[in-house]
Amino acid sequence: PRQPAKTLWYDRPRYVFLEFCVEDSRDVKVVIEDQRLVFSCKNADGVEFYNEISLYARVNSKDSQEKRSDRSITCFMRKWKEKVAWPRITKENIKPAWLFVDFDNWRDWEGDEEVERAMVEQYAEV
């Protein structure tokens, strides 16, 4: 049986970040499309995780990527319309039980572009 992974998200001027909280993930698959993201993996115990998100707005799937760590898989997706705030990550105005705002990384945008650029560069380094 598949189950959704706990997911944190936060908004930035140019990117939207999603973090799928799965420790010791394997068989990770992330498909980022212009209006949808599909995530799947297994954990060390063989539990299958699957999340499908219809995105609030369009992203540039060619300038979006993911990075796996021991504790999670982080996706960063380049917004099609930069500097437009996303009030939510989902197209529908519903909040799935597995989806949470990442308040540790959520902050006002003012003067934030340098911080955002540094974060993207940090994630891009494999």
Q: Which domain holds residue 100?
A: 7-125
Residue 30, domain CATH: 2.60.40.790
Please give the single-letter amino acid code of residue 59.
Answer: V
What average pLDDT does range 66-83 have in this prediction? 96
Residue 60 resides in a domain: yes
What average pLDDT does range 11-17 have in this prediction? 94
pTM of the model as a whole: 0.87
Q: Is the pLDDT of residue 52 over 80?
A: yes
d(CA 81, CA 89): 14
Half-sphere exposure of 106 (CA within 13 A, CB side): 14
For tokens 């219809």, the residue is 54
Count of domains for the chain: 1
Residue 1 resides in a domain: no
d(CA 100, CA 63): 24
